[in-house]
Structure 1
Amino acid sequence: MENITAALVEAFGEPPHYRSIPAPQADSRHEVAEVLAVGIHPVTRAIASGRHYASSAALPFIPGIDAVVRRADGSLAYVGGAGSGTLAERILIDPDAAIPLPAHADPATVAASMNPAMSSWITLRTRVPFTAGQSVLVLGATGNAGSVAVKAARLLGAGRVIAAGRNRERLEQLLAEGADEVIALSPDDAETAAALAERAAQVDVVLDYIWGAPSELAMRAILGARIDHTQLLDWVHIGGMGGPTITLDGAGLRSNALRISGSGFGSVDMSKAALPELAAAVASGTLAIRPRPIPLTEIEAAWSHVDEPGERTVIIP
């Protein structure tokens, strides 16, 4: 039997190991594709650690939630989904779910960019009734996904985009990348609340990559300063780097047209998310993140690398 190489999670809490495994075999629903590039995203590590809600309880397993592949006909495609196990030389794919990529697309750039870009793209295309001209606050805009969210909101027609985050240098850069205004989230809660109340109180959509106590503070500040409390505010929880839970004041819900939702695996019909349009925007460089290519043989060292802002580690089998 033919073997291929892959990354294999053999124990939770450890990096994947470079291993030899049996080669995948095509069946009536799946074809074999050559893997060209796989992004090491925060959610990839979280699922592999066993801490994510999409984690598998069965060991060992191949990590990886997405990939750029070359199909048997030579065409490029992006494939993905929670638990798809893409960190291998070859994988099985569902041809109907493969997203075609332009022939000139750089596999590493697409692998680095599609997952972070999806969070905001899918939210604005399918999770909330967003329309061109509305205003968007990106809470946690200085991370990779948040930075791309600023660009995606602008690309999808936002009338005003506000970027809020802790990295002041990155915030200044975002003014040249689609943000109309920036808000520095400082350790001084009163200062942060005042800035949010002054500059973001009238937004239509909040893309929240933080959650936890910082989001509680932001929500109180924004709701308390809204002029028209009947104006719908869609607050979408996407990331949880500030903590997994919030305490919500019921009075804020009763006195405002506030709608809280989440966007992630399981909450969105991906077939309605216009992902080929997103792939084209990524391939063109409009929504791209800089890849840091690393060979699959170095998966253990790559797993613990902390990416710089605007960078994503990408494994090349």
Structure 2
Amino acid sequence: MRAATLTAFGSPLTVHDVPDPAAGGGEVLVEVLATCVPPYAAEVFGGERRYPLEPPVVPGVGGIGRVARVGPDATRLKVGDLVWCDSTVRARDDALTPDITLQGWSSRGEGGARLARHLHDGPFAELMRVPTENVYSLPAGAAVDPARWSALGVHTIPYGGLLAGRLAAGETVLISGATGNLGSSAVAVALAMGAGHVVAPGRNRAVLDLLADRFGPRVSPVELSGDEDTDRAAMAAAADGPIDLVLDLLPPQAPASAARAAAMTVREYGRVVLMGGVGMLGGADLALPYPWIMRNSVTVRGQWMYPRTANAGMIRLIATGALDLAPERVTRFGLDRVNDAVAHAAAHGGPFDRTVLTPRA
């Protein structure tokens, strides 16, 4: 098969012929049709984000494909099925604290690194082997445009954060980092889940206007000034009532003060979910005040990626039209143009703008 390989950090990806992967027991072999290229992929491949990838590696984060071969433990999947391949792989030998790797992308701890060495390669290739439990059947309608459906890899991440925060229909949620790629997705997903009101802070006026135009009065954009106290007051005022949940999706470059300003708008007994990259590049810690958390009975939790059930839930939201993918802009690249795709993703990482690699096109 043909694949795009990262041979060393700082080097362009190399497209060449490599041996077909051999799927064993508990695994499925999938023909990759489409995979989203993250806007920050160039930072990962350049080594700027210091992800624990071990070159040479075929990278990528999940994708849409057709089943080419199934193992003996598969009871529902069959050859030819159109499927979503989730990159979030959990070790099978610890139910309480499983080691996790993002296949072809990242890992957590030494156990996750060991798992990544076994499931080393991702979807920037014509074929990929995937654990059986990470393969999800898609509705027939997804076959019309698999590239558009590959946005599952974007939307399921904030969906996991909103599930972790127990978002209920009618609640008010603040999305910290709403003008980014994941943050704008979180706005759409929260509304699809029934949020009554979404506060969307950010510093990009054009994106804030786009969110307001697309989603109407249920979204209140807030243009941030950079002053923590001023911004906290502006966000609280925009909510026009209690904020039940804050989901933080700010990138690594954002200051901790911005995350703190957003978090501290939450109501008494409210919930804060931290899912972004603040602090990954160094700098000040989040430093939420102990007395404020304790006296207001605020729940603060972290969430990395999402539970397995989130995949099924997100597929349902898209299939029923609760989350509409039609307005999203999708730009497709064949495997031979993988480096162009990485550059395009970096330059077009705004709201609802998807760069998609189509390895078998």
Q: Is the 8 A contact 2:42 2:343 kept in 1?
A: no
Q: In structure 2, list runs of 5 or more residues that go unmatched.
A: 69-78, 88-101, 105-121
Give 1:314 shift.
0.8
Give 1:192 shift.
2.1
User: C-alpha deviations, 1:213-235, integer Å up to 9, x for none?
Assistant: 21123334x26xx5xxxx32211
Corresponding position: 1:249 with 2:289: yes
**Which residue matches 1:69?**
65
Q: Give the SS at the match of 1:104.
A: helix
User: C-alpha deviations, 1:127-172, integer Å up to 9, x for none?
Assistant: 1233222211111111222112112111212122211112222212
Structure 1 residue corresponding to 2:315, chosen from 272, 279, 290? 279
TM-score normalised by L of structure 1:
0.84
Which has the higher mean CA deviation after the structures are superposed, 253-262 or 292-301?
Answer: 253-262
Which has the higher mean CA deviation after the structures are superposed, 178-187 or 101-110?
Answer: 178-187
Q: Give the SS at the match of 1:240.
A: coil
Q: Is the 8 A contact 1:47 1:55 kept in 2?
A: no
1:259/1:20 CA distance change after superposition, 3 Å = same
Structure 2 residue corresponding to 1:192, chosen from 231, 253, 270? 231
Q: Residues 97-108 of structure 1: matches in 2 within 5 Å?
A: 97-105=134-142, 106-108=145-147
Letter matched to residue 356 of structure 2: V
Letter matched to residue 116 of structure 1: V
Q: Is the 8 A contact 1:101 1:280 kept in 2?
A: no
Give 1:284 shift.
6.1
**Which residue matches 1:122?**
160
Alpha-carbon distance in 1 for matches of 2:51, 2:309 = 21
Which has the higher mean CA deviation after the structures are superposed, 280-289 or 301-310?
Answer: 280-289
Corresponding position: 1:315 with 2:315: no
Give 1:9 shift.
1.0
Q: Report the RMSD for the aligned CA atoms in angstroms.
A: 2.5
Alpha-carbon distance in 1 for matches of 2:337, 2:67 = 25
Alpha-carbon distance in 2 for matches of 1:196, 1:50 = 35
TM-score normalised by L of structure 2:
0.75
Alpha-carbon distance in 2 for matches of 1:291, 1:284 = 20
Corresponding position: 1:16 with 2:53: no
Give 1:76 shift.
0.9
Q: Is the 8 A contact 2:6 2:59 kept in 1?
A: yes
Q: Give the SS at the match of 1:142.
A: coil
Structure 2 residue corresponding to 1:258, chosen from 286, 289, 298? 298
Alpha-carbon distance in 2 for matches of 1:292, 1:170 = 19
**Which residue matches 1:299?**
338
Alpha-carbon distance in 1 for matches of 2:155, 2:189 = 7
Q: Is the 8 A contact 1:110 1:279 kept in 2?
A: no
Alpha-carbon distance in 1 for matches of 2:219, 2:148 = 26
Corresponding position: 1:110 with 2:126: no
**Which residue matches 2:258?**
214
Q: In structure 1, list runs of 5 or more residues that go unmatched.
A: none
Q: Is the 8 A contact 2:247 2:275 kept in 1?
A: yes
Alpha-carbon distance in 1 for matches of 2:86, 2:46 = 19
Give 1:302 shift.
2.0
1:5/1:147 CA distance change after superposition, 3 Å = same
1:283/1:51 CA distance change after superposition, 3 Å = farther
1:42/1:233 CA distance change after superposition, 3 Å = farther
Identity of aligned residues (%): 30
1:31/1:218 CA distance change after superposition, 3 Å = closer
Q: Give the SS at the match of 1:304.
A: helix
**Which residue matches 1:91?**
128
Which has the higher mean CA deviation after the structures are superposed, 202-211 or 191-200?
Answer: 191-200
Q: Is the 8 A contact 2:41 2:342 kept in 1?
A: no
Q: Is the 8 A contact 2:39 2:349 kept in 1?
A: no
